[in-house]
């Protein structure tokens, strides 16, 4: 994707989540130091960070469970706690405990009532979300009898009840098996396709990498890195070339397109040259140039930085948490 | 109306969790024993009266004795209702914070005061049902077995509901501030203090000891549950019984005033509002 398209995607017209210098101090502990993020409508936003980074406290502030010490936040363009906004927000808490003496269907009916849905809306929507999360067949069993994964599914169903414009999911797949995870990923993708905003708090990096458009990495109560996923990950592009010939001339040729990181020579096999390059088009031009210079090219493997690599890099370089 | 939704949820929960059923079952055991006791008293008195026929009656009039028996029954019901109130509501907020159930409720379009008000009304409805059944049971036994009908039963019932409403308001306030365990300890201590304070006041009245009476008055300002019980006990006894029995551990000869009732109702209201304020400030 060209760079200017990214700039457009990075600053969408309307924001679903917007926080400015949000801060929460518990006694002498700064849980969230300065949270400033913007999530555009229709985005799937990944909220990442190591344990204790302040992710859950941040989400709790957004959901009105915890009062910010200072700072500002708006959801769906309304101040925190606004009832109209809450009607359009679905939330799956990390600790997804519900009244376990209710059945699945009763729990959803209760939450639909809490959303202020009419009888007709509830009759239509409760079975719909039960089907969506694959729990329709178990709807008349008590929550107490559900497995952790089933409870998580009902929790997700509860968050989808009001046709939400914004869905905030706090570790939605932590209790799920691989099938459940895939289901959640599919649900998130269909939410995106319907133009809904998803705020995903997760520490499962591969999951975030596969569904999110943009991410913020939180560490020690601050935003350590934020941006569109592609842009963050494509900052560095390494290409591994397998060449039939390597000498000073070839190295000079390669150096015109990128900087050589490593050359592994082996008299019996093709040489492996690792090159850091600007973008993938440069790779194509380099290969053309090599072929034109009659250098046998056996392979070229572009290697993007993974989210995991980025995550560790960011987390390791964050400065110490500030004092209150 | 979300307050009523929470009220219903609270009421339903008490039934679904079989708490009410367990309490009702035990209360039935109590009622059965009560029938047995009342029958013994009635038969004994009748036999005694038969034996002493013609001679001057040195016994208290039957109504006074039967009234004392009703008072004992209602005292037990009042005590059971009080304990049930405290145990039902002790974790009403703290327990839900500890269990995490509020995390999915509070982000909904509902205010925290609606949750407090709803829970208060739900528990109150549950207690009113319980007291209605139990007071009804005691009165029924008195009529059928004891052939005695106490006066002002309905007013007594309302006052007994007020007793539990006071304890409920205190327990709910504690539940928004303390952990469930700490709240249980604090509320039971205060409840014990009110009971003892009421007793001290009666002893003080009997001994004509002003200090003891004052201790009773102070405890009924701190927690007016026992003073409302004493008013209830007073209204359901015939005047003759009150005068003849004098100050007892279960009743009083100097009933609290109308002002005390208004104070008790205001006490509930203030504590419920304080619960909402405390809950509003609390980080979940």
| Minimal C-alpha gap between A99 and chain B (Å) | 6
Query: Which residues from chain A sit within 8 angstroms of residue B16, using beta carbons?
Result: 101-102
| Minimal C-alpha gap between A116 and chain B (Å) | 8
Q: Which of B103, B113, B119, B280 to mutate to test the interface with A (most CBs of A within 10 A)?
A: B103
| Minimal C-alpha gap between B141 and chain A (Å) | 36
Average pLDDT over residues B71-94: 93
Phi, psi for residue B116 in degrees, rounded to 5: -60, -50
Q: How confident is the model at residue A321 (pLDDT cuts 50, 70, 90)?
A: low
Give the pLDDT of residue B190: 95
Token representation of residue A189: 């993708």
* A114/B17 CB distance under 8 A: no
Q: What share of chain A is helix, strand, coil (3-state, %, to 5)?
A: 40, 30, 30
The residue of chain A with its CA nearest to that of B17 is A101
Nearest to A181 by CA among A120, A113, A134: A134
The answer to whether the CB of A221 falls within 8 A of the CB of A324 is no
Give the one of A86, A101, A113 whose C-beta lies nearest to B5's C-beta: A113
Q: How does pLDDT run across B172-213, given as a tens digit for each residue? A: 999 999 999 999 999 999 999 999 998 899 888 888 899 999
Average pLDDT over residues A123-127: 95
The Cα A149–Cα A134 span in angstroms is 11
Token representation of residue A209: 């990498």
Q: How does pLDDT run across A20-49, given as a tens digit for each residue? A: 999 999 988 999 999 999 999 999 999 998
Largest CA distance in chain A: 78
Give the one of A60, A101, A155 whose C-beta lies nearest to B13's C-beta: A101
The Cα B52–Cα B50 span in angstroms is 6
The ipTM (two decimal places) reads 0.84
Q: How does pLDDT run across B101-126, given as a tens digit for each residue? A: 999 999 999 999 999 999 999 999 99
- How many of the other CB atoms lie within 10 Å of CB of B238? 17
Q: How confident is the model at residue A6 (pLDDT cuts 50, 70, 90)?
A: very low
Give the one of A84, A94, A111 whose C-beta lies nearest to B108's C-beta: A111
Q: Which of A114, A156, A172 to mutate to test the interface with B (most CBs of B within 10 A)?
A: A114
Q: Does A78 touch chain B (CB under 8 A)?
A: no
Sheet holding A15-26, edge to edge: A78-79, A70-75, A15-26, A29-40, A222-228, A214-219, A44-48, A197-201, A166-170, A89-92
């Amino acid at each position: 994707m060209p760079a200017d398209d990214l700039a457009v995607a990075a600053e969408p017209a309307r924001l679903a989540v917007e926080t400015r210098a949000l801060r929460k101090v518990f006694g002498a502990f700064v849980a969230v130091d300065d949270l400033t993020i913007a999530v555009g409508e229709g985005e799937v936003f990944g909220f990442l960070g190591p344990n204790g980074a302040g992710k859950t406290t941040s989400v709790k502030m957004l959901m009105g469970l915890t009062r910010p010490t200072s700072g500002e936040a708006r959801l769906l363009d309304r101040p925190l706690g606004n009832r109209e906004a809450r009607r359009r927000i679905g939330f799956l808490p990390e600790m997804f405990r519900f009244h376990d003496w209710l059945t699945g269907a009763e729990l959803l009916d209760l939450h639909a009532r809490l959303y202020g849905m009419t009888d007709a809306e509830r009759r239509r929507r409760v079975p719909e979300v039960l089907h969506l999360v694959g729990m329709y067949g178990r709807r008349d069993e008590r929550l107490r009898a559900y497995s952790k994964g089933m409870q998580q599914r009902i929790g997700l169903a509860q968050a989808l009840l009001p046709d939400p414009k914004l869905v905030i999911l706090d570790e939605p797949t932590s209790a799920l098996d691989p099938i459940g995870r895939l289901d959640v990923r599919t649900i998130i993708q269909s939410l995106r396709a319907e133009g809904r905003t998803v705020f995903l708090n997760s520490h499962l990096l591969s999951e975030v990498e596969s569904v999110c458009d943009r991410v913020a990495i939180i560490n020690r109560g601050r935003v350590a890195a934020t941006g569109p996923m592609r842009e963050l990950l494509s900052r560095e592009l390494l290409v591994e070339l397998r060449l039939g010939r390597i000498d000073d001339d070839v190295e000079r040729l390669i150096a015109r397109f990128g900087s050589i990181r490593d050359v592994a020579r082996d008299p019996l096999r093709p040489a492996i040259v690792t090159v850091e390059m600007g973008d993938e088009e440069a790779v194509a031009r380099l290969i053309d140039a090599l072929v034109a210079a009659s250098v046998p090219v056996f392979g070229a493997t572009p290697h993007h930085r993974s989210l995991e690599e980025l995550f560790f890099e960011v987390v390791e370089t964050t400065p110490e948490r500030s004092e209150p | 109306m979300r307050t009523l939704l929470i009220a219903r949820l609270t009421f339903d929960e008490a039934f679904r969790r079989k708490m009410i059923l367990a309490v009702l079952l035990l209360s039935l055991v109590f009622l059965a024993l009560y029938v047995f006791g009342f029958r013994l008293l009635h038969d004994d008195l009748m036999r005694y009266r038969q034996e002493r026929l013609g001679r001057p009656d040195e016994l208290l009039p039957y109504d006074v004795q039967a009234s004392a028996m009703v008072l004992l029954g209602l005292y037990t019901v009042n005590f059971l209702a009080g304990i049930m109130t405290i145990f039902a509501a002790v974790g009403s907020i703290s327990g839900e914070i500890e269990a995490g159930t509020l995390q999915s409720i509070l982000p909904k379009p509902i205010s925290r005061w609606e949750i407090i008000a709803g829970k208060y009304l739900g528990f109150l409805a549950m207690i009113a049902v319980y007291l209605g059944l139990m007071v009804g049971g005691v009165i029924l036994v008195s009529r059928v077995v004891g052939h005695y009908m106490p006066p002002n039963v309905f007013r007594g019932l309302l006052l007994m509901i007020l007793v539990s409403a006071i304890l409920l308001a205190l327990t709910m306030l504690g539940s928004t501030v303390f952990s469930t365990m700490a709240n249980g300890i604090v509320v039971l201590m205060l409840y014990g203090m009110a009971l003892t304070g009421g007793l001290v006041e009666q002893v003080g009245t009997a001994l004509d000891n002003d200090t003891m009476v004052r201790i009773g008055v102070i405890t009924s300002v701190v927690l007016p549950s026992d003073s409302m019980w004493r008013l209830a006990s007073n209204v359901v006894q015939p005047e003759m019984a009150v005068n003849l029995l004098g100050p007892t551990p279960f009743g009083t000869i100097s009933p609290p005033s109308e002002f005390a009732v208004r104070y008790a109702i205001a006490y509930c209201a203030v504590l419920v509002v304080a619960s909402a304020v405390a809950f509003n400030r609390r980080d979940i």
